[in-house]
């Protein structure tokens, strides 16, 4: 963190102090003010962005303010005590709001465990729902899939999905954090495996037919994998 902080500040110093035109403009207080304001904003944005990236690859604490992904969007987690004994979780006004019973809320460790469990269940439910919908949607592009394949949700460390020899599919619940296009890529990849049970040339040709930009979508998904897989 310190290292990047230094690099950021140094590049700011370089850009503002190099070149005669900059030195001339720096003599006018109004311009100085404008440059400083602009640069302060830039430094702040960069530090914010970096702090955010750092916080997301660190182990989660399941506290208010953390980022949660859903369908490619970032939501701020808000944890609050429930007025009833019931725990609840919902997307509301750009936040993922989790309420836990007051007794659990007051004990930090049990609150974390509870919030983690609630999130896990919520993501699993959403995965079931969204994947079922995406599979039937994507089947319109894969005429070789005659019957809706059965699928299950299972946490995996290195895979987004898989297809068994009998054609039943497995999906990683963390996939639901990615944009819909990335989910569709994984679904189409597995649906192509129903026709081709390997990564032969024929398989890749089939995939390119149903999703011509799959490489781009895949690299988008891979680029976010570390963040999505962080619980
Ligand atoms: Zn494959």
pLDDT at 102: 87
Instruction: Tell me the pLDDT band of 180, cut-offs 50, 70 and 90.
Output: very high
Please tell me the least confidently modeled range out of 81-85, 110-114, 162-166, 203-207. Answer: 81-85
Between the CA of 143 and the centroid of ligand 1 the distance, in Å, is: 19
Shortest CA distance to 217 belongs to which of 57, 72, 75, 68? 72
Q: Do the Cβ atoms of 133 and 186 come closer than 8 Å?
A: no
Q: Which residue has the higher pLDDT, 9 or 74?
A: 74
pLDDT at 52: 59
Q: Which residues, 6+ apart, have CB-to-CB distance to 212 below 8 Å?
A: none
Instruction: Tell me the pLDDT band of 21, cut-offs 50, 70 and 90.
Output: very low
Between the CA of 77 and the centroid of ligand 1 the distance, in Å, is: 34
Please tell me the least confidently modeled range out of 6-15, 69-78, 179-188. Answer: 6-15
Between the CA of 108 and the centroid of ligand 1 the distance, in Å, is: 42
pLDDT at 55: 53
Query: Which H, E and C letters describe 5-56, residue by residue?
Result: HHHHHHHHHHHHHCCHHHHHHCCCHHHHHHHHHHHHHHHHHHHHHHHHHHHH
Q: Which residue has the higher pLDDT, 1 or 19?
A: 19
Between the CA of 204 and the centroid of ligand 1 the distance, in Å, is: 9
Instruction: Tell me the pLDDT band of 104, cut-offs 50, 70 and 90.
Output: confident
Q: Do the Cβ atoms of 170 and 152 come closer than 8 Å?
A: yes
Shortest CA distance to 151 belongs to which of 140, 142, 141, 162? 162
Please tell me the least confidently modeled range out of 15-19, 116-120, 158-162. Answer: 15-19
pLDDT at 116: 95
Distance CA 3, CA 139 (A): 49
Instruction: Tell me the pLDDT band of 44, cut-offs 50, 70 and 90.
Output: low
Residue spans per domain, the chain: 2-57, 67-122, 128-228
Distance CA 213, CA 216 (A): 6
Distance CA 222, CA 231 (A): 16
Between the CA of 107 and the centroid of ligand 1 the distance, in Å, is: 44
Place of tokens 């102090």: 17
Shortest CA distance to 103 belongs to which of 77, 84, 78? 84
Q: Do the Cβ atoms of 143 and 153 come closer than 8 Å?
A: no
Between the CA of 126 and the centroid of ligand 1 the distance, in Å, is: 23
Burial of 7 (0-12, 13-18, 19+ CB in 10 A): exposed
Between the CA of 161 and the centroid of ligand 1 the distance, in Å, is: 8
Shortest CA distance to 150 belongs to which of 92, 109, 191? 191
Domain 128-228 CATH assignment equals 3.90.180.10: no
């Amino acid at each position: 963190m310190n290292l990047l902080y230094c690099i950021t500040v140094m590049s700011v110093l370089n850009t503002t102090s190099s070149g005669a035109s900059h030195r001339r403009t720096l003599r006018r207080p109004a311009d100085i003010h404008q440059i400083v304001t602009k640069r302060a904003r830039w430094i702040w944005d960069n530090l914010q962005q970096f702090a955010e990236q750092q916080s997301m690859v660190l182990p989660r604490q399941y506290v208010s303010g953390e980022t949660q992904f859903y369908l490619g969007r970032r939501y701020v987690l808000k944890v609050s005590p429930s007025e009833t004994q019931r725990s609840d979780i919902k997307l509301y006004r750009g936040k993922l709001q989790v309420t836990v019973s007051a007794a659990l809320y007051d004990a930090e460790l049990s609150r974390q465990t509870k919030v983690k469990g609630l999130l896990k269940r919520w993501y699993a439910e959403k995965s079931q729902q969204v994947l079922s919908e995406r599979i039937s949607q994507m089947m319109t592009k894969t005429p070789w899939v005659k019957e809706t394949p059965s699928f299950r949700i299972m946490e995996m460390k290195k895979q987004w999905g898989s297809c068994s020899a009998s054609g039943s599919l497995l999906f990683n619940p963390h996939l639901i954090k990615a944009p819909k296009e990335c989910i569709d890529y994984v679904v189409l990849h597995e649906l192509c495996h129903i026709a081709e049970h390997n990564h032969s040339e024929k398989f890749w040709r089939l995939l390119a037919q149903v999703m011509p930009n799959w490489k781009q979508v895949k690299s988008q998904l891979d680029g976010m994998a570390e963040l999505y897989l962080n619980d």
